[in-house]
Amino acid sequence: MAGKREFDVIVYGASGFTGRLVAEYLAKSYSGKLAWAMAGRDPAKLASVRAEIGAPVDTPLVTADASAPDSLDAMAKRTKVVLTTVGPYQLYGSELVAACARGGTDYVDLCGEPTWMRAMIDAHESEAKASGARIVFSCGFDSIPFDMGVLFLQDAAKRKFGRAFSRVKGRVRKMRGTFSGGTAASLKATLTAAARDPKILDLLKDPFALTPGFAGPKQPSGGKPEFDEDFGSWMAPFVMAAINTRNVLRSNVLMGRPYGADFVYDEMVMTGAGEKGEAIARSMAAAGSGMDGKDAPKPGEGPSREERENGFYDVVFLGVAPDGTRMTVSVKGDRDPGYGSTSKMIAETALCLIDNGRSTPGGVWTPASALGMPLIDRLQKNAGLTFTIEQPAP
């Protein structure tokens, strides 16, 4: 990173729903401990949000607009990390990634758009390596609990068995809460782009879309209901699997394939045993993502504080070796996934880059490959996540 920076973190999009939650978290958890600023298009709106969330009145406000690249360059040069919640990223994020890659500025986002991420990897990997910028995508519910959950499992397996698992199943065991309006908008933008360009559709179908130059073994599609004997439960497709699985596969490649060159990973949602479990699984599959209907959340909208605080998630990861050796770990979050937990996760990822990621060189990274076990420690200490070895006992 070139030169001394005025700020540790700038929250870009701080007047939006999720950006506001991130700013509120930093104000309450790191007041007086962090040099940070709030950024967006409208300084008056930023000032209003600053007052509403109880941030110090001297919290700096930075004017920046995705349609004005010069303003993004100026913002990037002032901070160690840009934390952006301004999506869909394929519509509003490309110039900011370019500015950070040019300026040697670290970058974290909430992106769940694999085709855009691949475009950014192709366009800016070399420049980020040269400038020292660490570009880290997918630092919210997609994909931190999953990316870090697999890392946690594999780390425990190596310590107990001396080897990683080449087959891992990620299963959402329980969840209460909503996906964010930004996630819904990103899905819509991706489908619109795919309708215009068949190459985008091909990338969406490729589980190794984020690992240019490497293609591993065939991966399960997870697209249809199925009964899983390992869990004694029916499974339904999981809408976030399309991005999470690709990030996990990319982590394996970026870290030198510690999970193995033949690593296989998939994600689904547990719906229970028997006829009831099957009916729920088939109903969920027929309903689809639920993010493209009239009731889907919109950017700028979100649940109440009570709904966020009453939300939670519980994801289990099962590693299975060819000789029958098994291990199960879980990752649990204490807030709703799309907003309450996501806002804490991305904030802690940004701070982990500053405090614990100094040995990570410039480039385009996943959370697991950039920050490893220190990020798990921070998430458990500060962000309400719990990582647990369930079977066998540690």
Examine residue 258 and say whether the peptide bond preceding it is cis (omega within 30 degrees of 0).
no
**Which token pair is 69?**
């690249």
Model confidence at 224: pLDDT above 70: yes
Examine residue 392 and say whether the peptide bond preceding it is cis (omega within 30 degrees of 0).
yes
Q: Which of 223, 225, 228 is nearest to 279 (CA)?
A: 225
Which residues on adjacent β-strands are paired with residue 228? 233
| DSSP one-letter code for 340 | I
The pTM score is 0.94
pLDDT digits over 255-282, tens only? 999 999 999 999 999 999 999 999 999 9
Model confidence at 121: pLDDT above 80: yes
Q: What stretch of H or E contains 365?
A: strand 363-365
Rounded to an integer, what distance in angstroms lies between the CA atom of residue 56 and that of residue 225?
A: 50
Q: What stretch of H or E contains 10?
A: strand 7-12
**What pLDDT was estimated at residue 291?**
55
Confidence of residue 21 (pLDDT cuts 50, 70, 90): very high
The residues, any chain, with a CB within 8 Å of residue 222's CB and separated by 6 or more, are: 235, 237, 238, 241, 245, 266, 267, 268
**Which token pair is 197?**
């360009």
Share of the chain above pLDDT 90, in %: 82
Positive/negative CA dihedral, 249, 359, 156, 139: negative
Question: Could you give the 3-state DSSP secondary structure of residue 41?
Answer: coil
The ranges assigned to domains in the chain are 144-336+383-391
Q: Which of 126, 118, 82, 117 is nearest to 100 (CA)?
A: 82
**What pLDDT was estimated at residue 30?**
96
What integer best gives the mean pLDDT of the chain? 93
Model confidence at 361: pLDDT above 80: yes
Confidence of residue 189 (pLDDT cuts 50, 70, 90): confident
Q: Which of 31, 117, 95, 165 is nearest to 366 (CA)?
A: 117
Model confidence at 293: pLDDT above 70: no
**What pLDDT was estimated at residue 228?**
97
| CB-CB neighbours of 31 under 10 Å | 13
pLDDT digits over 232-257, tens only? 999 999 999 999 999 999 999 999 99
Q: 195-209, 218-232, 363-377: lowest mean pLDDT where?
A: 195-209
